């Protein structure tokens, strides 16, 4: 099979290069009272950053991209709205399926990241006939965490640097996979959600399947509850699922701290605007868009991929 290797050199730097460029002048001012060392470090980092970004960009020239409309009969601007009663029925089915297939397996993050990356590579290759090999490196801190306190992870658009900000437990395979889809060159949030879901749910590993189903359930609950946190937690209680699942679903929508709610609400609006400016529907692509996509695919007459992939 055709194979492409994206070097992702920036992922081997000891800290994220974007963070170094943003933070070095500030840190040296605070620590040393001078900006010169920071500027030297920034300039060196900028050089490395630009070099690795160009290498990645060149390697991506030969990537065969997935045509979402052809393969799944759905895309960012090609979505049917899932009716609310269908959402409620699906929530019941997802909760039961998660209960039945439950696993308490825990895998260390770096091992999990390698396994998830391998699965994602194979899934995309099963559609395009081409393996796009990318780095499995994951950081556990990034400055983006301070700017986007509501985020669980981030992938730098230029360097492909992936950070996972907190222990997301049950959802971790999905969170990692979502960021890895970006690293393979798919920048839209809907595409990251969908490819991560489909890759994991079609794997034969219970831990990965579980994460995919849990993410779908969590997103359906968020759609029904809209912005109302109490409504969300009530819906979780109403599932009467096993305690591990109930706890994980409560924990993934934590009550924001004062800092998070102030920074979060401003940054959310800006982030929503940024998504719209880049041809996406906005933050809603993470939940409304994602679940509508799976619904549209499930009912598509001419999707090339097997619709059993999305059945629960």
Backbone angles phi, psi at 280, to 5 degrees: -115, 175
What mask of x and - would describe binding to Zn ion in positions 40 to 79, judged by CB under 5 A?
Answer: ----------------------------------------
DSSP run (H or E) holding 265:
helix 258-277
Q: Which of residues 274-303 bind Zn ion (CB under 5 A)?
A: none
E strand spans, the chain: 2-5, 130-133, 153-155, 162-164
In the complex, the smallest distance separating the C-beta of residue 19 from Zn ion, rounded to whole angstroms, is 18
Query: What is the number of the residue whose Cβ is closest to Zn ion?
Result: 192
E strand spans, 156-278: 162-164
Contact in structure between 162 and 137 (CB atoms under 8 Å): yes
In the complex, the smallest distance separating the C-beta of residue 286 from Zn ion, rounded to whole angstroms, is 8
In the complex, the smallest distance separating the C-beta of residue 193 from Zn ion, rounded to whole angstroms, is 8
Q: 42 or 178, CB closer to Zn ion? A: 178
In the complex, the smallest distance separating the C-beta of residue 179 from Zn ion, rounded to whole angstroms, is 7
Cα dihedral 182, 177, 242, 248 sign: negative
Contact in structure between 190 and 198 (CB atoms under 8 Å): no
In the complex, the smallest distance separating the C-beta of residue 192 from Zn ion, rounded to whole angstroms, is 4
Q: Which of residues 80-119 bind Zn ion (CB under 5 A)?
A: none
Q: 25 or 264, CB closer to Zn ion? A: 264
Cα dihedral 219, 276, 160, 262 sign: negative
Q: Which two tokens stand for residue 63?
A: 């990537």
In the complex, the smallest distance separating the C-beta of residue 116 from Zn ion, rounded to whole angstroms, is 15
Q: What is the C-alpha to C-alpha distance for residues 113 and 76, in angstroms, rounded to an integer? A: 27
Q: 141 or 187, CB closer to Zn ion? A: 187
Q: Which of residues 159-198 bind Zn ion (CB under 5 A)?
A: 189, 192
Q: 209 or 275, CB closer to Zn ion? A: 275
Q: 91 or 283, CB closer to Zn ion? A: 283
Q: 180 or 232, CB closer to Zn ion? A: 180
Which 8-state DSSP code applies to residue 63?
Answer: P
**Contact residues for Zn ion, defined by CB under 5 A:** 189, 192
């Amino acid at each position: 099979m055709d194979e492409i290797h994206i070097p992702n050199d920036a992922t081997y730097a000891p800290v994220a290069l974007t963070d170094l460029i943003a933070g070095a002048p500030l840190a040296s001012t605070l620590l040393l009272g001078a900006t010169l060392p920071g500027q030297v470090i920034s300039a060196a980092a900028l050089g490395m950053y630009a070099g690795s970004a160009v290498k990645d960009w060149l390697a991506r020239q030969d990537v065969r991209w997935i045509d979402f409309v052809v393969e799944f009969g759905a895309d960012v601007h090609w979505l049917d709205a899932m009716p609310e009663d269908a959402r409620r029925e699906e929530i019941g089915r997802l909760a039961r399926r998660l209960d039945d297939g439950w696993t308490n397996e825990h895998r260390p993050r770096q091992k999990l990241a390698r396994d998830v990356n391998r699965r994602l590579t194979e899934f995309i290759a099963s559609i395009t006939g081409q393996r796009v090999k990318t780095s499995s490196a994951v950081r556990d801190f990034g400055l983006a965490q301070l700017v986007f306190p509501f985020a669980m992870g981030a992938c730098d658009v230029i360097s492909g640097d992936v950070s996972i900000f907190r222990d997301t437990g049950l959802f971790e395979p999905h969170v990692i996979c979502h960021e890895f889809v970006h690293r393979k060159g798919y920048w839209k949030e809907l595409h990251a959600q969908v490819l991560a879901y489909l890759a994991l749910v079609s794997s034969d590993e219970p831990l990965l399947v579980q994460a995919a189903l849990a993410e779908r359930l969590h997103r359906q609950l968020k759609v029904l509850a809209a912005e109302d946190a109490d409504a969300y937690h009530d819906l979780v209680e109403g599932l009467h699922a096993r305690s591990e699942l109930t706890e994980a679903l409560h924990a993934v929508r934590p009550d924001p701290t004062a800092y998070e709610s102030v920074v979060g609400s401003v940054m959310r609006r800006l982030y929503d605007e940024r998504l719209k400016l880049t041809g996406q529907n906005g933050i809603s692509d993470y939940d409304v868009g994602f679940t509508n996509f799976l619904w549209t695919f499930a009912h598509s007459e001419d999707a090339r991929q097997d619709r059993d992939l999305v059945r629960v």
